[in-house]
Each structure stands twice: as C-alpha cells, then as structure tokens.
C-alpha cells in the first residue's frame, strides 16, 4: 500500500526526531558518566553499564533471529569480534570512566569531535579512502577546536605533555573508538546489530573480570552506599545511550542512509556541554565555547566534504 505524502512526511519527521534523540542520549552519557565515575570505582561503573546493556541488546538481537546468525560467523571473525570488544567496549569504557574522574563532563565530551578526523585519516592510510581538500580543512579545524576545548585554551599543552591526567586519559577514547570503527570494516558479513550485541557481551565479561581482579569485592560492597542518582545514571547510559541511541541511529541509517544519519553526531558534543551545564552546573568558559564551535564546524565541513 502506497503511503500518502502526509504519512510519508510524518514518517520521515519521526526518523529525524529519533536521530535528534540519539544525539541527545549520546551527549547525556557524559554528565551521567561523570556522576557514576565520582560515585563508584571506574571498572565497576563500566561493568554495570554494559551488563545491563548486554541483557537488553541480547533480547533485541534474539527477537530478530540473532541465534541463527551466529552459525555464519567464521573462527577468524570471532577473533576480530574479541579485538573489537577489547578496544571499543573495554578500552573505551575504561578511558571514559577514568577520564571523567578528573575532567568536567562538558569538556570531556568535546573529544567526540576528534573521532571523525582520526577515523578518516586512518581509513585513508589503511583502506585507501579518498580525501579531498574540504575534508582536510575540516579535519584541521576539528582537531584545533577539540584541542582548545579539551585543554582549556592551551592546545599546545597536549603536544608538550604538560596537561593533566584527565585530558590525556580521555584522548584514549578516541584511539579506542577509531580502532573499533576500523575493525568493524574488517568484519564483512557480520551485520551491525550482531557486532554491537556480541562485542557488548564480550566487553561486559572483560570489564567484570577486570573489576574483580583490580578493584576487588570491596568495590561491589560500595554499591550499598550508591545514591539513586548513580543508579539512574547507570541505567540511563545502558538503556538510553547504549541501546536506544544505537537503535535510533540504526533506524536512521536504514531510512536516510549512513551519511545523513551520521550528520547528527555533530550535535552530540553540543548536548554533552548543555546537559553538563544544566545537571552538574559546570561552567562554560571561552575556551570551551570557542574551541567547541570550531570543532563542531570542522565536523560539519568533513561531513560536507565526504558527501561531495
């Protein structure tokens, strides 16, 4: 049955609203992560998030025939899945939680603006993806802006190593996310939902093991004193940022295409700074606002250059 123009417009509007919601949820994960990082040991906080998310993702994955897809995963692909979990789930989560112990959430959220530049640069190096002058200009602008925002207005300090631990740790998020993205390109034949679900489960096991070894049973006992805001933040990151955010993004990719859906990621750091200011009363100084504006503009230019 053919949709009427009004129904088609309504459906597309719904897609755009869900993508906007995705950007808001991913941005909100930074202040929520800050709340958790300051309340419970970092590995434990990351474990709780991905245990909850893994359960929800498994239920979704199994409901769409995920069990049948496992049979088609080759042994070599399982190796790549474990590596993807080690970087994109374990490594990213550890950098995320440790960085947020030292750095305000709004400033830390600006690290997102480095992800597209680093990913495109390494994709050009390893996969011979073509770059043009527009993309390169956007990369430079995004890198300079992000460095200014993260370093508090002293981007040269990142090169000299004179910045604090938080700035250096949160940059680990970039390396881990880029590795996860590029590994995903190696996993031909494994659909996005299967990769996300299996890496989340494997990563949750890694985080649980690391928490038990390095933080011990006392870390788990600390949950008895966890405030309601901590539990709400963990659940918000698990259900909102990890499951709903991914579901809405995947829906947008299917309907509008990967490029159009990815454009909404430009809004993630804006929501990160906004929610950090509203929920945590974090101060937005000139370096954060100017650096953030430059970085987000650079992301937009890169997106335009890729479409061109």
Buried b (16+ CB within 10 A) or exposed e, 230-264: beebbebbbbbbbbbbbbbbbbbbebbeeebbbbb
Sign of the CA dihedral 138, 34, 61, 204?
positive
To the question of pTM greater than 0.75 for the whole model, the response is yes
Q: From CA 264, how far away is CA 160, in angstroms rounded?
A: 33
The answer to whether the beta carbons of residues 120 and 268 sit under 8 Å apart is no
Per-residue pLDDT tens listing for the chain (308 residues): 555 655 555 667 889 999 999 999 999 999 999 999 999 999 999 999 999 999 999 999 999 999 899 988 999 999 999 999 999 999 999 999 999 999 999 999 999 999 988 988 888 888 888 889 999 999 999 999 998 998 887 777 666 665 678 888 999 999 999 999 899 888 888 998 999 999 999 999 999 999 999 999 889 888 889 999 999 999 999 999 999 999 999 888 888 887 778 889 889 999 999 999 999 999 999 999 999 999 999 999 998 887 76
Ranges of H-type helices in the chain: 5-37, 42-63, 66-70, 75-84, 92-102, 105-109, 114-127, 133-151, 156-160, 165-186, 192-214, 216-221, 228-235, 245-256, 258-262, 268-280, 286-307
As a whole number of angstroms, the distance between CA 301 and CA 139 comes to: 8
| Best CA proximity match to 127, nearest among 207, 79, 65, 181 | 181
Three-class SS state of 153 = coil
| Chain centre to alpha carbon of residue 278 | 21
Measured in whole angstroms, how far is the alpha carbon of residue 74 from the centre of its chain?
27
Computed from CA positions of residues 150, 152, 153, 158, in that sequence, does the dihedral angle turn out positive or negative?
A: negative
Our CA dihedral for 98, 99, 100, 102, rounded to 10 degrees, sits at 100
* Residue-level pLDDT at 8: 57
pLDDT number for residue 2: 54
242 Cβ contact list (under 8 Å, min separation 6): 49, 50, 53, 56, 57, 200
């Amino acid at each position: 049955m053919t949709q009427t123009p009004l129904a088609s417009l309504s459906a597309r509007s719904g897609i755009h609203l869900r993508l906007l919601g995705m950007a808001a949820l991913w941005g909100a994960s930074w202040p929520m992560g800050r709340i958790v990082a300051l309340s419970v040991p970092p590995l434990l906080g990351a474990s709780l998030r991905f245990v909850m998310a893994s359960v929800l993702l498994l239920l979704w994955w199994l409901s769409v025939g995920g069990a049948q897809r496992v049979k088609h995963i080759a042994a070599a692909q399982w190796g790549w899945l474990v590596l993807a979990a080690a970087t994109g789930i374990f490594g990213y989560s550890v950098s995320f939680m440790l960085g947020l112990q030292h750095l305000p959430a709004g400033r830390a959220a600006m690290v997102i603006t480095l992800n597209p530049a680093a990913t495109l640069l390494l994709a050009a190096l390893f996969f011979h993806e073509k770059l043009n002058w527009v993309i390169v200009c956007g990369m430079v602008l995004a890198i300079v802006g992000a460095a200014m925002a993260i370093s508090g207005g002293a981007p040269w300090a990142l090169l000299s190593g004179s910045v604090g631990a938080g700035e250096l740790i949160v940059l680990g998020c970039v390396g881990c996310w880029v590795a996860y993205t590029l590994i995903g390109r190696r996993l031909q034949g494994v659909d996005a939902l299967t990769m996300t679900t299996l890496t989340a489960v494997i990563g949750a096991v890694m985080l649980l093991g690391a928490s038990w070894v390095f933080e011990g049973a006392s870390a788990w006992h600390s949950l008895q004193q966890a405030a309601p805001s901590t539990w709400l933040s963990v659940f918000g990151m698990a259900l909102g940022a990890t499951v709903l955010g991914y579901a809405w993004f995947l829906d947008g990719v299917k309907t509008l295409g990967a490029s159009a859906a990815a454009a909404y990621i430009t809004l993630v750091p804006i929501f990160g700074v906004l929610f950090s200011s509203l929920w945590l009363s974090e101060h937005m100084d000139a370096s954060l606002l100017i650096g953030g504006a430059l970085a987000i503009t650079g992301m937009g230019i890169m997106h335009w250059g890729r479409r061109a």
